[in-house]
Amino acid sequence: MIINIYRFAAAVTAIEKAAQIDNQNDEVTDELENIRLVVEAHKHGDEHFCSERYEQACTSYGEGLWVDPSNPVLYYNRAACWSKLGEWEKSLADSNRALLYWPQYAKALHLRAASNIKVRYKLVHFTYFFLDKIINLIVCDALQLKRWADAVRDYEILRQELPRDREVAANLSHARVELRREAPEGKVELVSDVEKFQAVIASGESVVYFNELTNPEYAWMSSVMDTLSAKYPSVIFLKVVVEQSRAAAENITTLPRFRLYKDGSRVGTATLDVLEIMIKDNLIDPI
């Protein structure tokens, strides 16, 4: 059963009419009772939230979710409570659940992006003070990069939905800057996740190297990319191994291949002999 809170009034009216027509139908009676329980939980949660009783609000929204575990609005509302309590991992988890059932839920997208950023800062704090420094920096760097990539992805979607929203535009710009800052300097990152790939190429200027591990020139070309990455720090350099991610490989049939992107749009395809020239002409000093 999925009860859409934004259609509660219509749902209750429809079930009540059905109950009047067939008041002996146990299924209709049970459905009406469930809807009333969710409506009541939602109402109590909102009352607690407005009174800044966020823990009680979480409990109330949770009671509604126990009856209707697929309700995106209740998940978003509880995520908002977690954010008020500084429980950013829980806020992120509930935002993800809301978007699972309503992928275009703009409020949940906005909160998930904000939660990703907050979780990133919490990871940095926790890592520096409580874990072994050598291991923690490796783990933390990878998590930071993923959080910023996730935030860029969500703000890109919100930017399309809300093109005039200044807060969304500012947050997208900030997330892009941080994503570029967190990218490993002088070393090309290997990307296999298609969502992360799309988020990174949308964050500004980037060069992607597509190849196969079986190619005998793979290691040498990777070192060339590392050199170019150090030489042009304003550009993000990525590697995609075709066998590991067909989706991110974008149907490329001729390998190795280099593609240049700017704000998510492809601006060129190159072979190694002309790659640096194309970087200069298309990304550093575009004509």
Distance CA 45, CA 78 (A): 9
pLDDT at 232: 83
CA distances from 202 to 59, 76, 123, 193, 263 (A): 39, 26, 24, 14, 4
Residue for token pair 């009333």: 36
pLDDT at 225: 84
What's the predicted TM-score (pTM) here?
A: 0.56
Closest listed residue to residue 86, CA positions, set 61, 47, 113, 122: 122
Distance CA 5, CA 72 (A): 9
- Cα 250 versus chain centre, distance: 21
Residue for token pair 């996730």: 150
Cβ–Cβ < 8 Å for 276, 266: no
* Domains annotated on the chain, with CATH: 5-103 (1.25.40.10), 183-284 (3.40.30.10)
Q: Provide the Cα torsion 197, 97, 151, 188; round to 10°.
A: -30
Contacts (Cβ under 8 Å, ≥6 apart) of 285 = none
Cβ–Cβ < 8 Å for 272, 207: no
Angle at 151 between CA 177 and CA 244, to 5 degrees: 100
Position 152, amino acid: V
pLDDT at 90: 92
pLDDT at 166: 85
Distance CA 275, CA 286 (A): 14
- Tens digits of pLDDT across the chain (287 residues): 444 544 555 555 655 565 565 555 566 567 778 888 888 899 999 999 999 999 999 999 999 999 999 999 999 999 999 999 999 889 999 999 999 999 889 899 989 988 887 776 554 444 433 334 433 433 344 455 566 767 777 877 787 778 888 888 888 777 777 766 665 555 677 777 777 788 878 878 889 888 877 777 777 777 788 888 888 888 888 888 877 766 566 666 677 788 899 888 889 888 887 888 888 888 876 55
pLDDT at 248: 60
pLDDT at 251: 67
Closest listed residue to residue 149, CA positions, set 125, 172, 126: 172
pLDDT at 53: 96
